[in-house]
Chain A
Amino acid sequence: DTGVSQDPRHKITKRGQNVTFRCDPISEHNRLYWYRQTLGQGPEFLTYFQNEAQLEKSRLLSDRFSAERPKGSFSTLEIQRTEQGDSAMYLCASSSGSGYGYTFGSGTRLTVV
């Protein structure tokens, strides 16, 4: 286990389509986070899980967004009915818990055309 893996690295989709991203965290990390990053900005928090429980969601996460971590290991982030404003880098990170730093994946770059 060499780090946090995200798949795909890049995704181009047409407006209105659904997309799903996957994140595989570091295996011994019980916390998993999703962030979104637009060009020239820092990462913005979307949601996080402790094991399989989704403990917090940002108001940035509209009804079109849903995240799961069914077995407390990998996580998926789905965006339904994509809009051009969803174009961004979606970053996943994991940590050992509160008060510990994150290890980030390389991100999934979403482009909605």
Chain B
Amino acid sequence: GESVGLHLPTLSVQEGDNSIINCAYSNSASDYFIWYKQESGKGPQFIIDIRSNMDKRQGQRVTVLLNKTVKHLSLQIAATQPGDSAVYFCAENCPNFNKFYFGSGTKLNVKP
């Protein structure tokens, strides 16, 4: 159930616009998902999580959507700010594996 990282895609948005970052996960048995934000030189920081019994969860300016049918996860950031510029990773946890597997990440670049 490991997600394999490829080239790092980049999303560029204008400050104030909404951002949508997508992630395809690999294991249909995964039941818990987290989005992490990683700024340069820092460790990943928890943003929002969702369990497989839900298809949507909202936080402050962020929403995570889960589509189990196509194994797809998305992170929506409302009114994107320059401080949102970072690399965003989705992580999946399968109950049998006792650990999270991370995607390769998407770089979000917010233009002022």
* Interface size, chain B (Cβ < 8 Å): 26
9-residue interface stretch from A12-20, A70-78, A80-88, A95-103: A95-103
Q: Are B102 and A40 in contact (CB under 8 A)?
A: no
Count of chain A residues with a beta carbon within 8 Å of a chain B beta carbon: 25
- Closest approach, in angstroms, between the C-beta of B6 and any C-beta of chain A? 9
Q: Report the number of A-B residue pairs with Cβ-Cβ less than 8 Å.
A: 62
Report the minimum CB–CB distance from B67 to chain A (whole Å).
20
B46–A103 CB distance below 8 A? yes
Asked if residues B44 and A104 are in contact (CB atoms below 8 Å), the reply is: yes
Residues of A within 8 A of B103 (CB): 42
Question: Which listed segment binds A: B13-21, B76-84, B92-100?
Answer: B92-100
Residues of B contacting A106 in the complex (Cβ-Cβ under 8 angstroms): 41-43
Contacts of A56 in B (CB 8 A): 98-99
User: B102 — nearest CB in chain A belongs to which residue?
Assistant: A42
Q: Is the CB of A99 within 8 A of B49?
A: no
Is B34 among interface residues, defined by CB-CB distance under 8 A? yes
A104–B44 Cα gap in the complex (Å)? 6
A48 adjacent to B99 (CB under 8 Å)? yes
Q: A43-B89, A99-B32 are in contact. List 11 more A-B contacts (CB 8 A).
A: A40-B8, A41-B104, A42-B5, A43-B44, A45-B99, A45-B100, A56-B99, A101-B49, A102-B44, A106-B41, A109-B41
Residues of chain B at the chain A interface (Cβ within 8 Å): 3, 5, 7-8, 32, 34, 36, 41-46, 49, 89, 91, 93, 95, 98-105
Question: Could you show 17 A-B contacts with beta carbons less than 8 Å apart?
Answer: A4-B43, A40-B5, A40-B104, A41-B104, A42-B91, A42-B102, A42-B103, A44-B102, A56-B98, A91-B43, A98-B98, A101-B49, A102-B100, A104-B36, A104-B43, A106-B42, A106-B43
